Amino acid sequence: MNLRLATLQRLVVLGVVVLASAYLAVLRPLAARVDQEENPIAGLREDLAKATLEAGLPRGTDFFTLSNRLSELRAASSAFSAAERESLPRLEHPSEIRNRLEEPFQLVEFLNESQRRLEELAAQAQAGRVTLTPGLPRGFPRYQPELAHPELLWIQLATVNRVIKTAIRAGVREVGEVSVEPLPLQEPAEVGPLPPPGFSPAPATNAWTVLRVHVTTVGTMDALGKLLVALSLSPEELKRTGLSEDLAARPALFIDQLLLRRNQLEAAEQAQLELVVSTVVARDTP
């Protein structure tokens, strides 16, 4: 009996030793490996939960819904990229304007070009029997020493010339007012503590600069309709409407605001159009 008990005790001890060896040799490394693989998964789950909330989805959104939303976002991104490829050529400025933007701004050249454009518009208005308000040149872009980007004056000048020239060719009766939105001025130098090492400002989220022109014209509805269409379409697009393609130019402009109202009681066919159009130019990216 004592021999059997001693044998049983030895077997128990041997079993404990085997289990301990198995734990140390197999189970413990396996548990450590599971922990190592579980930590990255836990981090990914936290990142997924954070991204889900930032996307406006409720916490705990299932993977099927996330997969559908991801497919929708990819389709929307593809459609946006296609629309961008089609729209960018419509917004591209002529080569002479792009060259002006790359060159150092020359005030004398700008003043000479402004005067030349005014004289050409006056001659075209006289030939087309269109009245230009005597104070119209006051609304043209003007140089200021404080301008942050004086080269943008070239785009403003080209846009003003384009709008008035198109109005004359569209057959309006009068161009009563024109003005440009002020360009941004230089930021004053700030005196303060130096930024910490490695600090860099966040990049601008808007890659475009918007330049707006306000114009007031009087004419028939037919003439004002031609003006709106010619400003907002490219020459190729305008040709498909049945109008002469040389009435349009590049770039196509955006119609930001318009106000159309009857001008005179005794001339019901005449209307006054107040119009704000804009063009865009890509900012320099580092």
* Cα(236)–Cα(244) distance, integer angstroms: 10
pLDDT tens string 115-127: 999 999 999 999 9
* Cα(54)–Cα(97) distance, integer angstroms: 42
Beta bridge partners of 277: 213, 255
Q: Grade residue 59 by pLDDT with cuts at 50, 70 and 90.
A: confident
Tokens of 259: 């106000």
Domain boundaries defined on the chain = 20-51, 89-184+206-282
Q: Which range among 14-28, 71-85, 95-109, 200-214 has the greatest average pLDDT?
A: 95-109
Residue whose C-alpha is closest to residue 207's, from 101, 122, 280, 114:
280
Residue whose C-alpha is closest to residue 167's, from 135, 109, 112, 213:
213
CA torsion 212-213-218-223 (nearest 10°) is: -70
Average pLDDT (41-64) is: 75
Q: Grade residue 1 by pLDDT with cuts at 50, 70 and 90.
A: low
pLDDT tens string 155-188: 999 999 999 999 999 999 999 999 999 998 886 6
- Please say whether the beta carbons of 152 and 141 come within 8 A: no
Residue 71 has pLDDT above 80, yes or no: yes
Measured distance between the N- and C-terminal CA atoms of the chain, rounded to whole angstroms: 91
CATH architecture under which domain 89-184+206-282 falls: 2-Layer Sandwich (3.30)
* Cα(61)–Cα(48) distance, integer angstroms: 10
Kindly report the CA angle at 250 between 245 and 256, in degrees rounded to 5?
Answer: 105
Q: Grade residue 140 by pLDDT with cuts at 50, 70 and 90.
A: very high
Tokens of 196: 């910490």
The length of the chain, given as a count of residues: 286
Work out the percent of the chain whose per-residue pLDDT is above 70: 74
Q: Look at strands 131-132 and 174-180 and give their pairing.
A: parallel
